[in-house]
Amino acid sequence: MHLLQSLPLLPLLVFGSLGGCRNSEPPQKELPEAEDTSAKPDTNPGQDSAPEEGLVVSPVLILEKEVHPTNILLVTTDTLRTNHLNSYGYEERITTPNIDALLASGVNLTRHTSCSSWTYPAFICAFTGTDQVTAGHWPLPWIGDVPQSFPGTFPSFVADLNNRGYQTAMVTGNQVLRAFGLETGFDVHIKCPRPECPVGEEGIAAATTNKAIEFFEAFDRSQPWLLQVHYFEPHLPNDPPARYLPELASMPSCPLPFTTNQEQIDMLNAVADMEDPTDRANCLAIAEYYYDAEVRFMDDEIGRLLAYAEEQGLWEDTLLIYFSDHGEELYDHGFWGHGTKNHHEQISGTAAFSQPGNLKPYTVTGATTLEDIAPTTYALLGLEPFQAFTGTVIDDAENRITHQLTYRYEETQHSVTTPTDKLIYSADCSPMQYYDLVSDPNETQNLYDATNPRVATLWGELEPRIQQLALADEGYSPCGYEDW
């Protein structure tokens, strides 16, 4: 069975605000009880329920050959907006033919979110199967100061599999993944570029694929293995090979350069204060063009990696896990970057589990989160979990809620998301935010009203999480709870 479709071919950066408002009044600590009246969408509309044939791991996880996979190829991507994938409706240009084919080949998690808006906490959730506070670490974004390492031993499922005899290796374009504890359990972990992973004119993504193939060839195929391949693109700086920028010469003119890393940072910061709307629009168009070019570059390299895996016959006993760590704001809510807010564009993600020829493809329309990666992996491998998870094995539940936390001291944001609505609380007394995701999926109209029964219901879910962090962190004093 073919996985691929044939189609043509740094530290965290946070950018300037376009304005905002503050409110000194804290949110209500107690709201009246309210019945949850949210709509319950049909399970897999247009798709029959999965029949109970083969080895049923969950209602949406069916191993047709009735054999658990042994090996793991973990492909992860950085800073990827869901609305820039063609399979999610993006039509401006072709960006993701290979990722789209990957998603279609397996159990596709179409309503997936990260647990945070930047890489370090996202992988804490993915590797431990728990939220940040339960795991015991809620790191500050890498804005100037280097984040603190995970306290004690990092309880990663990679380390557990390594203890069970798995050969483990990681190649990454993002330094965060091989530092602060996230590298725990990997026999070898390599950052590109480094002397052991040289990057030529083809760019970081190509070097990442090359090193991943080297690792494949070094594994003892008679023993189980796990390989993580993390693509840094399209994280800034956006510097794709020139062949991915064929339209650049015909793009509208921006008064500021956008070539080097510093030029890109300077231009994106300057856009917020540009008085000429034409200049602003042109500069943002060029920045988005570079972003899309890097997405396509990364996607092509994923395609090359998966083509190699197919040629080697790896799908016979290998589970492919794919997810993006977080999104990227393109001035949707006043910023360009990530690690600042819990709005959709920063915390949305894509994810899938695939084993062509064995794991039955399925489209999951219920909510899922990065905390579900570890428990689902163990279920598909047929292994007993190494610890209690706050995440769940993927199923077809349609009304599950998910939580997100972006920790930034007084600018910390907590949010709770359902299939139909979302509530965001800011620790600095900024106005509470409530969004109707059915009519406003891009979260542009704040409908917060403390008397709304839905707000009351979501606050009942969110308030215990705020209190849990405040009690665990002596330095955290969220607005309205200074006496905790």
Q: Which pLDDT score is estimated for 141?
A: 79
Q: How many helices (H) and strands (E) does the chain have?
A: 10, 16
pLDDT tens-place string over residues 454-470: 999 999 999 999 999 99
pLDDT tens-place string over residues 22-78: 333 334 433 333 334 333 334 443 444 444 579 999 999 999 999 999 999 999 999
Pairing of strands 421-426, 413-417: antiparallel
Q: Per mean pLDDT, which of 39-48, 200-209, 296-305, 334-343 is the most reliable?
A: 296-305
Residue 455's contacts (CB-CB under 8 Å, 6 or more residues apart) are 31, 423, 432, 434, 448, 449
* Six-digit token string for 383: 């292994």
Go through the chain and tell me how many residues it has.
Answer: 484
Which one has a higher pLDDT value, 48 or 7? 48
Task: Check if the beta carbon of residue 73 is closer than 8 Å to that of residue 318.
Answer: yes
d(CA 197, CA 206): 10
Amino acid at 85: L
Residue 207: how many CB atoms within 10 A of its CB? 21
Backbone phi, psi, residue 172, to 5°: -145, 150
Nearest to 404 by CA among 71, 48, 121, 53: 121
Nearest to 126 by CA among 88, 176, 195: 176
Which one has a higher pLDDT value, 349 or 23? 349
Q: Could you tell me the pTM of the whole model?
A: 0.89
* Six-digit token string for 54: 């083969």
Task: Check if the beta carbon of residue 341 is closer than 8 Å to that of residue 107.
Answer: no
Q: Per mean pLDDT, which of 8-12, 76-80, 409-413 is the most reliable?
A: 76-80
Which one has a higher pLDDT value, 405 or 179? 405
Q: Which domains, and CATH codes, for the chain?
A: 55-404 (3.40.720.10)
Q: Which pLDDT score is estimated for 52?
A: 59
What 3-state DSSP class applies to 413? Answer: strand
Task: Check if the beta carbon of residue 40 is closer than 8 Å to that of residue 398.
Answer: yes
d(CA 58, CA 362): 12
Task: Check if the beta carbon of residue 444 is closer than 8 Å to that of residue 378.
Answer: no
Q: Which pLDDT score is estimated for 143?
A: 62
The predicted model gives 340-349 an average pLDDT of 95
Residue 482's contacts (CB-CB under 8 Å, 6 or more residues apart) are none
Q: Which pLDDT score is estimated for 42?
A: 41
Question: Could you tell me which residues are beta bridge partners of residue 433?
Answer: 424
pLDDT tens-place string over residues 162-188: 999 999 999 999 989 988 999 999 999
pLDDT tens-place string over residues 207-263: 999 999 999 999 999 999 999 999 999 999 999 999 999 999 999 999 999 999 899
3-state helix, strand, coil in the chain (%, to 5): 30, 20, 50
The model's confidence at residue 439, banded by pLDDT at 50, 70 and 90, is very high
Nearest to 356 by CA among 310, 305, 408, 315: 315
